[in-house]
A and B are shown apart, each in its own frame.
Chain A
Amino acid sequence: MAMELPREFVNLLRRRGVHKVLTTIGDDGFPHAALKQTLQVDSAGRLFYLELMESSVTNRNMVASLWFHRPVSVLVSGTGGVSWELQGRPLRTLIAGPEFKKHYRLAHHRYGAMGLAAVWFIEPLALRDQSRTRRLLEEREAHPFFVHLDRLAIPGQARRQAGKD
């Protein structure tokens, strides 16, 4: 059963001005991150992106990930420290057929000379809300020792200790 993507994540992905980064792992073991602003969720709830270049490092790594079951990571970051990280795996790629043609037309309209090499579908495996405020709350609750003590001191006392009073 495929994991259902939460509405907050889908809404963020559809918002204008967000940054979308896809990180893949190369055959040499090195990670490779690339902005993939075409990352989107279709009407059937499937996460996909449009790969514009056949020879891109991401495209090559996606093939290797599909073949050898390596995970990929998607980071979507909006304003105000809002961000989500998704871990997944490439499920399939389209290089022909009616659905490819539909995306090809769109890519041609939007990117002109870039064309379209493939449509990649990513199966979500895990999702994490990394928004700054949420993470701060989580950390304070789960890890009370992970803090500099001056941040916990009574403000006036901290100033006296610093010799300013």
Chain B
Amino acid sequence: MSQSGATDTTTQVISRRGRAKDRLEEVAAEHPDVPRLVILKTDVQRRGVHYTGSALRLLDPSLHQVTGTPIPGSRDGRLRPCPESLLMRDGSSILTAPTPLEEDPYWVDGIEGRLWLRDGGDPIEEVEYWPRPDYYGRLTAKGVDYRHIASARPQGLHISLGPARLDPEDVAEVVGDALREPGRFSALVIIAGSDPRGPEPFDREVDHCIEILRAIGRNFQNPAFPSQLNGSAYSRRQLERLHARTGLMSYTADLEVLDPGLFQRLRPDKARWVDYDEWKRRLVEAVAVFGRGRVGTGILAGMELGGPHGYATEEEALGRNLDQAEWLAERGVTTVFSLWKPPSGSFQGNASLDFLIQLAKGFHRIRRSHGLTVEYGDYRRGGNHPDLDLDRLQN
């Protein structure tokens, strides 16, 4: 059983957690058409996790993915070897982060050699740590640690191009080596960062993506290979250049919030270069280049509820999100959500679980009604979007 010491604070947290469990059960009862596992995954992402001592003793860096520093969105800010994330028995992932006990996280506990999620009482679901890729610990010919170039999910290889500029030869080498591990990866995701420099804004970013993707492409038999670029909102000319010169098969540019006023206020760094309406127009243009179901945008669900300018109610936010997602879907663009995690100590709390489940159902219904899928970023290839888990019953 758990080796974590119970303190007065812990006791208080446990008493609150009892109410939180009711919320999960309430939401599950309210939405019998949504699998309980998806609701649980959403709630764990929402509330975060606390790894008990016995859970951490089951962490084996020779078998599991370990993060030495808090991953983006981590809410406890402590430096220590930490599990990267969790796998569930339906094959989906929970991308989650260690969270202080005061914020009422789920507990990941080690019980008789197995890992379980707990919510203040009995174990409620068995989970696993993410498996470690074979390439961990290797260096490129130029001496760069592979982990500075690529990060792994259970089936996805993610390469982040910003803020450091990566050497295409290093990237090609890492990808080539990663592909030697049988069955390990079924998705390649390039995160472009945001570099507005160039004769036309983002030309420099597009140039860098092209050189990286062309280098990666040398590892594949066919000119096109399953891949996703998560980048800025590019012009038609830039999109056509990307498509013509690389093997890229899908493109996403995240609006993060589906409202022009909130986009301006919450993402001024993006809005400065491409305003909300132009961003949407560029997404639609990208469908003409990459095809229906090959272009998407992401939002950070819950961010639109914060601050003095956010929506007053979750109902209002839901209506607006679905309305905008419908507009995009009519034009062949998909919308997915990740959970926005308020920083520790923030006055803004998490979005409610019911709001997130309604949003997941809404996005799923919209995609289905327009015959759209997001196969390049589904439960297996991405894993971070509860709404995409629901697409697993639809092919």
Q: What residues of chain A have their CB less than 8 Å away from a CB belonging to chain B? A: 27, 54-55, 60, 63-64, 66-68, 91-98, 100-101, 104-105, 108, 115-116, 118
Query: Are A55 and B395 touching (Cβ within 8 A)?
Result: yes
| B14 proximity list for chain A (CB < 8 A) | none
Contact of B89 among A91, A108, A116 (CB under 8 A): A91
Query: Are B128 and A60 touching (Cβ within 8 A)?
Result: no
* B: interface residue count bin: 20 to 34
Query: Are B91 and A60 touching (Cβ within 8 A)?
Result: no
Q: Is B137 an interface residue (CB 8 A)?
A: no
Work out how many contacts link A and B, with CB atoms closer than 8 A.
Answer: 58
Nearest CB in chain B to that of A66: its residue = B90
Contact of B90 among A93, A105, A108 (CB under 8 A): A93
Binary per-residue interface labels of chain B (115-149) against chain A in the complex, 1 for a CB within 8 Å, 0 otherwise: 00000000000001011000000000000000000
Query: Are B183 and A100 touching (Cβ within 8 A)?
Result: yes
Query: Are A67 and B35 touching (Cβ within 8 A)?
Result: yes
Query: Known contacts A63-B393, A104-B183, A116-B183: does B90 contact A97 (CB below 8 Å)?
Result: no
Q: What residues of chain B have their CB less than 8 Å away from a CB belonging to chain A? A: 35-38, 63, 87, 89-91, 128, 130-131, 154-155, 181-184, 380, 392-395
Query: Are A92 and B89 touching (Cβ within 8 A)?
Result: yes
Q: In the complex, A92→B91 CA distance in Å?
A: 8
Q: In the complex, A33→B95 CA distance in Å?
A: 35
Q: In the complex, A93→B38 CA distance in Å?
A: 15
Query: Are A95 and B154 touching (Cβ within 8 A)?
Result: yes
Query: Known contacts A60-B392, A67-B35, A104-B182: does B63 contact A98 (CB below 8 Å)?
Result: yes
Nearest CB in chain B to that of A107: its residue = B183
Query: Are B89 and A96 touching (Cβ within 8 A)?
Result: no
| B38 proximity list for chain A (CB < 8 A) | 67
| B181 proximity list for chain A (CB < 8 A) | 101
Query: Are A108 and B182 touching (Cβ within 8 A)?
Result: yes
| A101 proximity list for chain B (CB < 8 A) | 181-184
Q: In the complex, A63→B183 CA distance in Å?
A: 20
| A97 proximity list for chain B (CB < 8 A) | 87, 128, 131, 154
Contact of A63 among B90, B130, B155 (CB under 8 A): B90
Q: In the complex, A63→B209 CA distance in Å?
A: 36
Closest 3 CB pairs of A and B: A104-B183, A67-B35, A92-B89
Query: Are B380 and A67 touching (Cβ within 8 A)?
Result: no
| A104 proximity list for chain B (CB < 8 A) | 182-183
Q: In the complex, A66→B379 CA distance in Å?
A: 15
Query: Are B154 and A96 touching (Cβ within 8 A)?
Result: yes
| A60 proximity list for chain B (CB < 8 A) | 392-395
| A55 proximity list for chain B (CB < 8 A) | 395
11 additional A-B residue pairs with CB within 8 Å, beyond A92-B89, A100-B183: A63-B90, A63-B393, A67-B90, A68-B35, A95-B154, A95-B380, A97-B87, A97-B131, A101-B183, A101-B184, A105-B183
